[in-house]
Structure 1
C-alpha cells in the first residue's frame, strides 16, 4: 500500500470540517427523498383520477405496488442512492403520518351513530386480533410479531395499521410488506363482494337489513378506509355514511392499541433477556410509549374541539396521505419477490381465515344488535 493512501484527502477533510455531521445526515436523506416524494405525490394524483377513484384503490396501495415493481425490476445499483431517503420515509415520515391520521376523526360523528356503531367495530377489532394471534401462532406456526401485524391490518384500518404496528413491534420490511399485501388482497376482494352480499340479503333473502346496519357491518369488517367508502357508495349514500363512521371507530382505536402493544409484558421480557441490547430494562415505562401514538390522540382531540382551522384541514390531510404514501413506497422498494415467496403460504392463509372471520362474526354481531 502506498504511504500516500493513508493521508486524508485535503478536500475531503475540509468538507468534513466545514459541514457538521447532522447536517450531512439530513442533506443526504432529504436529497434522496426527493424522487420518492415526487412519485408519492403522483400516486395521490392518480388515485383521485376519475378512472381509478371508483375502484377504491388507495394511494398507500398504489405506492406499495409501485415500490415493489421498482424494487424488483430495477438494478440495485440504481436504487442504492435512494437508500437514505427511503430510511427517512420508513421511520420519521411514517410516524408523523400516523400521528396526523387523527385529523380524520371527531367524537361527535361516533356518538351520532349510536351504541351499535361503537360496540360492533370494537368487538370485531378485539376478536380479529385475538383470533389472528391464536390462528397465526398456534395453527400456522407464525411468529407473534408477524401474526400481530397481519391481524392488525385486518382488524383496524388496513395498510396504515399494519405499518404502524410493525414500527412498534419492529418487524422487518419483508414481514411488513407481506402483511400489507394480504390486507390489500382480501380488502379489495371484500370491497367488491359486500355490495353483492347486500343485494343477496335484502333482495333475495328478504332480510330486514337497514342501510345504517349494513353500513355498520361494512365499516366494522372491511379493511381500508378507501375500500369502505367505495363499497358503501356502491350500495347507497346512507350505507356509505354509516360505514365511514363505524370505520373511524376502528381507526380511533389505533392509538390505544399501539400503546397497549408497546407496554405489553412480552416486549419487556424480550428486552430483559440475557444478551440483548436492553438487558436489565431499567428505563422508564414512558420511554416505551411511541410518540406518534400520543400525537394521534392529541391531534384527534384538537380536531374534535374545533381547534384545527377548517381552511387548513384539506391541505393537512393531503400532506398526511403523502407522508404515508412515501412510507409505503419506501417499504415496497425494499421488498423482493423472492422474499415474499420465501415467506410461504402461511401469512396468506391467516389473512384468508381472518377475512372469513370478519364477514361471519360481523354479520352475527350486527344481527344480535339489530
Structure 2
C-alpha cells in the first residue's frame, strides 16, 4: 500500500520526467506564435495558422536535431493530455442556443452532409491506398473542422503520429486554397449572401477562415457562415462517439465506457451545456476559447516533435489527391444541399 509521502514522491518524479519535453513543446509553440505574428505583420493576413506552423516547426526540429530520450515522456504528455484538455475547453465557446436560429431543416441537412462527406472521403482515401486511420483522419478533417477534427479524432482511433501529421499538413494547405478559391463560386453561381454564407460554413475548415472566405458576400454571409460552421463543429461529438464504438467492435471483444465515451468528449459536452445554461458567462467564452487554442498549438508542437519528415513524405501524393477530391465532393454536395433546401 502506498503511503502519502510515497505517492507525493511518485508524483514529483512523474512531473520531473514530463517537464523537459513539455518545455520543448512550449518553446516550439512560442516559435509558431512568433512566426504567425511576423506573417501577419509582413502580409496583413494569416495565410498559415499557428497550428500548422507549430507542427511544421516541431517536425523540422525532430528531423534535423537528434532529441534526448528524456524528452519523450513530456512530448507524449503534451501531444495527448494537453490536446484532450483543449477539446474540453473548446466546448465553452459553443452554445446550444445557436442551433435554434438555424432551423431544423438546415441542421438536419448539415448532419446528413457531414455523414455523407466522411463516408465518401474515407472511401476515396481507401481507393487511393491510404490506411484506415489516415483515410479517416483526412475524411474527418475535410468534413468537420480541419486540423481540430484531425487532432480530436486521432486519440479515439489511436492513429500514428505520422498519419496525424500528414493529415494535418495537407488539410491545412487545402484549407487555405479553399478560402482563396471559394469567392469564385459567389460570382459564378450569382449567389445571395445567405447562400454563400451557407456554402462557406459547410466547406471551410476553421471559424476564422470562414469569416475570411465569407467576407466577399457581405455581413449576412459572414453571420450565416459562422452559424453553419458552429453547427458543423457540433457534429464532432457524435462522430467521435461513433468512431469509438466502431473501433471497439472491430478490434476488441468488449467495449469499455472510456472508449465509447472518452473523458474529454464528456467534458466537451458538459462545458457546452454550462455555456448554454448561462453558467459560463459570455465574457469568459472568448478567453476560454483562446486558452483552448494555445493548448492545441502546444499539442500540435509536441505532435510535430514525434515525426520525422522522411517518414511522412511517402504518403504525400496519395493524401493530397484524397483531400483534393474530398473537397470537390464536399463543395458539390453543399451546393446540392443549398438547392434542396431552397435557401434564398
| TM-score above 0.5 | yes
Report what 1:366 is aligned to.
338
Contact in 1 for aligned 2:166/2:316 (Cα 8 Å): no
**Residues 219 and 309 (structure 1), Cα distance of their counterparts in 2 relative to 1, 3 Å cut:** same
What is the rounded CA distance, in whole Å, between the counterparts of 2:275 and 2:47 in structure 1? 26
CA deviation map 1:123-147 (0-9, x unaligned): 221111110222222x223222221
- 2:304 and 2:42 map into 1 onto residues whose CA distance is 24
Cα 1:18–1:346, aligned 2, differ >3 Å: closer, same or farther?
closer
* Pairwise CA distance, 1:158: 0.5
Q: How far apart, CA to CA, are the structure 2 residues paired with 1:293 and 1:182?
A: 26
Between 294-303 and 345-354, the greater mean CA deviation after superposition: 345-354
1:296 aligns with 2:268: yes
Q: TM-score, normalised by structure 2?
A: 0.89
| Shift of residue 286, structure 1, vs aligned partner | 5.2
* Residues 20, 192 of structure 1: alpha-carbon distance in 2 compared, 3 angstrom cutoff: same
Q: Which residue of the partner structure matches residue 217 of structure 2?
A: 235
What SS is found at the alignment partner of 2:103? coil
Please give the secondary structure, in 2, of the residue aligned with 1:141.
coil
CA 1:103–1:52 in 2, change beyond 3 Å: closer, same or farther? farther
Q: Structure 1 120/217 Cα, relative in aligned 2: closer, same or farther at 3 Å?
A: farther
Aligned mates of 1:98, 1:180 — CA distance in 2: 16
**Separation in structure 2 between the aligned mates of residue 239 and residue 334 of structure 1, nearest angstrom:** 40
1:335 maps onto 2:307 in alignment: yes
TM-score in terms of structure 1 length: 0.83
Moved more, 48-57 or 333-342: 48-57
Structure 2 Cα separation of the partners of residues 42 and 235 of structure 1: 35
Equivalent-residue separation in structure 1 for 2:33 and 2:325 (angstroms): 31
Q: How many residues are matched?
A: 336
1:337: how far off? 2.0
Kept in 1, the 8 Å contact 2:90–2:292? The answer is yes
More deviation, 214-223/64-73: 64-73
Q: Residues 116, 38 of structure 1: CA spacing in aligned structure 2 closer, same or farther, 3 A cutoff?
A: farther
**For 1:195-344, what aligned pairs fall within 5 Å after superposition?**
195-202=183-190, 209-264=191-246, 266-272=247-253, 281=254, 284-285=256-257, 287-344=259-316
Q: Is the 8 A contact 1:57 1:227 kept in 2?
A: no
The structure-2 alpha-carbon separation of the partners of 1:157 and 1:122, relative to structure 1 and needing over 3 Å to count, comes to: same
- Partner of 2:290, secondary structure, is helix
C-alpha displacement at 1:40, in angstroms? 2.3
Identify which range, 291-300 or 114-123, moves more after superposition.
Answer: 114-123
Give the drift of 1:322: 0.9
Q: CA deviation at 1:293?
A: 0.8
| Contact kept? 1:47, 1:53, Cα under 8 Å | no
Task: State the shift of 1:56 in Å.
Answer: 5.2
CA RMSD of aligned residues (A): 2.4
Q: CA deviation at 1:295?
A: 0.9
Specify the alignment match of 2:320 in structure 1: 348
Cα 1:46–1:299 change in 2 (3 A) is farther
Conservation of the 8 A alpha-carbon contact between 2:179 and 2:204: yes
Query: CA–CA distance in 2 between the matches of 1:51 and 1:226?
Result: 19
Query: Is 1:131 aligned to residue 120 of structure 2?
Result: yes
Q: How far apart are residue 186 of structure 1 and its match?
A: 1.2
Q: Compute the displacement of 1:326 (Å).
A: 0.7
Question: Structure 2: 5+ residue runs without aligned partners?
Answer: 1-5
In 1, Cα distance between equivalents of 2:274 and 2:218:
31
Note the alpha carbon deviations across 1:195-225, whole angstroms, 9 max, x for none: 12212322xxxxxx22112111111112223
Q: Distance in 1 between matches of 2:259 and 2:155?
A: 15
> Cα distance 1:245–1:53, how it changes in 2: closer, same or farther (>3 A)?
farther
The reply to whether residue 119 of structure 1 matches residue 119 of structure 2 is: no
Matches within 5 A, 1:97-112: 97-112=86-101
Shift, 1:243, TM fit: 0.7
Q: 1:287-336: per-residue Cα shift (whole Å, max 9, x none)? A: 54211111111111111111113343332222111110011111112222
* Distance change >3 Å, CA 109–CA 18, structure 1 → 2: closer
Output aligned runs, 1:20-31, within 5 Å.
Answer: 20-31=9-20
